[in-house]
Amino acid sequence: MCEKEKIILVTGGTGLVGKAIQSVIEADKIKNEKWIFVGSKDADLCNKQGTEKLFEKHKPTHVVHLAAMVGGLFHNMAHNLDFLRNNIHMNDNVLQTAHENNVVKVISCLSTCIFPDKTTYPIDETMIHNGPPHPSNYGYSYAKRLIDIANKGYYEQHGRIYTSIIPCNVFGPNDNFHPSASHVIPGLMRRLYDLIKNGNTEDKTFTVLGSGKPLRQFIYSLDLAKLIIWVLRGYDSVEPIILSVDESQEVTISQVAEAIAQAFDFKGKIVYDLSAADGQYKKTASNAKLRKYLPDFQFTPFTQAIKETVDWYIANYDQARN
Ligand code: NDP
């Protein structure tokens, strides 16, 4: 019997993760799957009618909901209310419109940075709601946590399998390199490139904000894309799943800065500005649940992924989100 065609609508399809899925799916096309990638120009998902028109146009059977107001530590700290409201609206509009249109599966995106500030480590999928998030990003965090609550509601009231994934920090080609809105990796890449593009000399000083000591897990966007495609095809539970590198692959911010410096072949020296905020010291996540399903999944080595991203950034500087 012929399997019915899946029409997969990817919101946030123009962003870092969306573009990574586009490039992975190009090489991993299978029969009976039609992928549609949309960005904010196609519809403002903060608006219910706009969201409905988008669903009417594409008639998806499946949705990968990546669209969100996303930003780094300093952007979050200054705009918590905007992060809360925009993300609540987008998430509610997408989930409710998916339900109204009989979409069979929705995968939404949480993040490891929405977990309780005071917690034990490693964090796992059962701990999302155990206490307040770090005050620096409470708006983003509470909006994201509500997705998990809504998913449980859509299951209990309507039997829907709407689920969520919890990536750790993501980086890769097509990231946002804007100085005030970016995450740590693209932010550092942008500042280092600006410092050396007119001369990579020994007298240059690269200043990293904070102590360099916080620990983070970073996933390469192309690895995350492969895992999201697996979730779409093979993970059928409402319960969230952490998509992170292994605990042993956690790195300090100073290791990140050094890997970036090496990828740019930086000749000067790195210093740390201790007056700047560090954010959470660590937020180590366990990927044990993922490893039960995919014990042999190979993550791209961190320094290789950093090098590929730096090479992409240099080659695409003029078109990148700067
Ligand atoms: P990006 O900032 O790169 O992309 C955001 C996407 O959302 C873009 O496609 C953007 O469209 C779209 N978007 C934003 N506002 C609206 C709107 N009002 N209506 C419609 N679309 C909108 O994000 P990422 O790819 O980094 O993140 C994808 C998902 O992963 C998000 O849900 C994020 O919370 C989550 N996540 C990200 C992490 C990271 O480190 N980056 C870590 C953990 C989770 P356009 O560009 O066309 O304006």
What is the C-alpha separation between 157 and 237, in angstroms, rounded? 16
Q: Which of 121, 138, 140, 235 is catalytic?
A: 140
pLDDT at 5: 92
pLDDT tens for 152-182 read 999 999 999 999 999 999 999 999 998 776 7
Nearest CA to ligand 1 atom 47: 39
**What's the average model confidence in pLDDT over 54-70?**
97
Cα 139-141-144 angle, rounded to 5 deg: 110
- Mean residue pLDDT across the chain: 95
Q: How confident is the model at residue 236 (pLDDT cuts 50, 70, 90)?
A: very high
Q: Helix, strand or coil for residue 207?
A: strand
Mean pLDDT of 111-138: 94
CATH number for position 134: 3.40.50.720
Residue 41: CB atoms within 10 Å? 7
Residue type, 176: N
Segment 207-229 mean pLDDT = 96
Region 260-278: mean pLDDT is 94
Q: Tell whether 291 is covered by a domain.
A: no
- What are the structure tokens assigned to 166, written together? 């919890």
pLDDT at 75: 80
Q: Are residues 225 and 204 in the same domain?
A: no
Residue 284 clears pLDDT 80, i.e. is over it = yes
Look at the chain and report how many structural domains it folds into: 2
pLDDT the model gives residue 181 = 66
Token pair in block for residue 113: 């940075």
Kindly report, residue by residue over 1-34, the tens digit of the pLDDT: 557 899 999 999 999 999 999 999 999 888 899 9
Question: Which of the listed residues 23, 48, 66 should we mutate to test ligand 1's pocket, taking the one with most ligand atoms within 8 A of CB?
Answer: 66
For the four alpha carbons of 112, 118, 120 and 124, in that order, the dihedral sign comes to negative
CATH of the domain at 194: 3.90.25.10
- Asked whether 272 and 211 are in contact (CB, 8 A), the reply is yes
- Percent of the chain beyond pLDDT 70? 99
Per-residue pLDDT, averaged over 241-265, amounts to 97
Ligand 1 is surrounded, with C-beta below 6 A, by 11-18, 39-41, 43-46, 66-70, 90, 109, 111, 167, 169-170, 176, 183
CA of residue 21 to ligand 1 center, whole Å: 13
Range name among 17-21, 71-75, 251-255, 282-286 with the lowest pLDDT average: 71-75
Q: Are 144 and 201 members of one domain? A: no
For residue 287, being part of any structural domain is answered with no
Residues 6 or more apart from 203 whose CB is under 8 A from it? 268
The number of the ligand 1 atom at minimal distance from the alpha carbon of 14 is 9
ipTM: 0.99
Residues 186 and 312 in one domain: yes
Please report the beta strands in 99-227, taking only residues with DSSP state E, as ranges in sequence order: 105-109, 161-167, 169-171, 205-209, 215-216, 218-220
140 is catalytic: yes
Least confident among 72-76, 150-154, 297-301: 72-76
Tell me which residue range forms the domain holding 49: 6-170+217-248
Do 203 and 115 fall into the same domain? Answer: no
Q: At what angle do helices 302-315 and 253-263 cross, to 10 degrees?
A: 50
The two structure tokens encoding residue 36: 């549609």
